[in-house]
Chain A
């Protein structure tokens, strides 16, 4: 099934919203990232997400509806192979570690929106675990991360399903 224009549009809207939120969240920070907005990286990420989603659905023999915790995990997996510079413009003094945190913030904002996190309910230890995965290393096992997203969604989010 192709990635329809309408579904691509809504996913692009989400990536751009989360990217802009990242820029705003770090506007006072020395890293001060500028989100590129409409850029090749966003389109590439949408292609990669769609490819990964197809593979995931085929491997797990699930129907085309995916629970939102899985969608969040797939988006993060898609972005973890990319660099912050693909999406953001930085000043010269921003090192690779700080750039990675900017990318992690971008990922977190996507999770936050997709799971509709109520931040009053977020468990601190769980948040730290997830931040570690986003900044340091994405777990080799995508299913493990899906489980972490599932837990986060059950604790602090709102379960929904993503149709195509």
Chain B
């Protein structure tokens, strides 16, 4: 078996963590989007959303100050 000519493809590497994504399929067989659950998810994760909002705000303030 002859080796293929070297190309940029030879340097392709698997991105970290992609093996773990194999089971995820975006097929039409997946469940329906449940807006009630989406809202519950937002409500029940207030601490994370607060931390995220603070991070964004801090970054924006730093950006505008520099």
Contact = CB atoms under 8 A, between A and B. Distances in A.
Given A21-B49, A65-B28, A112-B49, A98 B57 contact: yes
Nearest to B16: A123
A21 B28 contact: no
Interface residues of B, number: 34
18 contacts: A10-B36, A11-B35, A17-B42, A21-B46, A25-B46, A67-B26, A98-B57, A108-B52, A109-B42, A113-B38, A113-B42, A123-B17, A131-B59, A153-B26, A154-B21, A154-B26, A160-B34, A161-B28
B49 A71 contact: no
A36 interface: no
Interface in B20-51: 21, 24-26, 28, 30-39, 41-43, 45-46, 48-50
Nearest to A22: B53
Interface string A85-124: 0000000000001101100110011001110110100010
Interface of A: 10-11, 13-14, 17-18, 21-22, 24-26, 29, 31, 65, 67-69, 71, 97-98, 100-101, 104-105, 108-109, 112-114, 116-117, 119, 123, 127, 131, 134-135, 150, 153-155, 159-163
